[in-house]
Amino acid sequence: MTDRNEMSTKMEPLLIREDARQRGELADLALVLTAKSTGLRKSLPPKIVNALASLVRSMNCYYSNLIEGHDTHPIDIERALDEDFSSDPKQRVLQLEAKAHIAVQEWIDEGGLDGRATQTEALLETHRRFCELLPDELLWVENPETRQREKVIPGALRESDIIVGRHVGISPGALPRFMSRFEAAYSKLGKFDSILAAAAAHHRLLWIHPFLDGNGRVARLMSYAMLRETLDTGGIWSIARGLARNESEYKQHLSNCDLQRRNDLDGRGELSEEALAEFTKFFLKVCIDQVEFMEELMQPRRLRDRIMIWCEEEIRADALSPKSEKILSTLILQGELARGDVAELLDTGERSAQRVTKILLDRGIIKSRSTRAPLHLAFPASLASRWMPGLFPDK
């Protein structure tokens, strides 16, 4: 395995210095993000948070894959989760890729990366969990110069050289040294410093390019995990949507961060601290924008109005029982409803209440862990354009 003996100082600085010119502005943005994210989480009933997090996983997957040039709409992702795959082989492969991404993010949401999102072993596990679920077609990379195909090994560091745009990756033999330095820099930070460092860690992992393929997805999953833990987001907003909607600017910032230090005012490392600070500002502003977007969508009164308008249309079309409205309205406000309380809420008999509930369950509008467990509101992707417009493109 080639090792050109590169020193890990080649990717310094890893953090923005406390006395850096931009530090104050970045700290202010981090505080705003913290306050807004906390406010959004606290404004929603816990059961609504859990239901919304499930939809956000599909949203995150959609936008992360879109950055990679793979367009798999959340409705198709939802179908894949229900084992309903397209007859088109290419679309089926993309659905399987999306299903793999969802599985990894669900593992993250269950605490799989808590306390270790930037540790080497955890990043290898993230890559392994994602790649081992992929169809074989997506596990091959072609060298653009030699045209030779190389197999991606889940959870393994690359063993060949790479060039990404103008960036020549470090030699494969140097990867353990650089990953060790990466872990040392980012894995023991306090919560506030972790928020400030999220963008820097994102770029530096891409700069190292530890895997033959899948680096972008692993980096975005790592960033998601870092922000989820430090901000206690509950998984109800995602940086991926903002990055995809500002893709050209995102990629330009990443390219700028590859540049060498320009002068004595540009930090003390080999790479540009000014560019890293600008990317951090962009990253934090995108996060704030995404929190504000979700905050607007999830305002209880507006969310209720959108769902109730849809419900009225379904009732007029005889697709739902007129009594469905009370169940949905209650779930929006309370987050859950005990099955035993449905009949009283609807002022009807037990069997009639069960019929109304069954239609809502069959449509995927509400959900329950078992036949006796409480009812919760669901956010099916097929209704997102009506209930939560702008979350992702209509289909």
293-317 residue pLDDT tens: 999 988 878 889 999 999 999 999 9
Amino acid at 229: E
Range of the domain at 212: 8-297
Domain count within the chain: 2
Residue 52 lies in a domain: yes
User: What proportion of the chain, given as a percentage, has pLDDT over 90?
Assistant: 83
Is the same domain home to 144 and 226?
Answer: yes
Note the maximum CA span of the chain: 78
121-165 residue pLDDT tens: 999 999 999 999 999 999 999 877 777 899 999 999 999 999 888
324-336 residue pLDDT tens: 999 999 998 888 9
- E-assigned strand segments in the chain: 140-142, 149-151, 163-164, 167-168, 336-337, 366-367, 375-377
The CATH number of residue 358's host domain is: 1.10.10.10
Is the same domain home to 292 and 318?
Answer: no
For residues 205 and 35, is the Cβ–Cβ distance under 8 A?
no
Is the same domain home to 274 and 181?
Answer: yes
Confidence band, pLDDT 50/70/90 cuts, at residue 193 = very high
43-77 residue pLDDT tens: 888 888 988 999 999 999 999 999 999 999 999 99
Confidence band, pLDDT 50/70/90 cuts, at residue 168 = confident
Confidence band, pLDDT 50/70/90 cuts, at residue 377 = very high
Is the same domain home to 312 and 340?
Answer: yes
The CATH number of residue 230's host domain is: 1.10.3290.10
Both tokens of 275, joined, read 């560019």
The reported pTM is 0.93
The pLDDT, as a whole number, for residue 275 is 96
Q: Tell whether the model's pLDDT for residue 395 goes beyond 70.
A: no
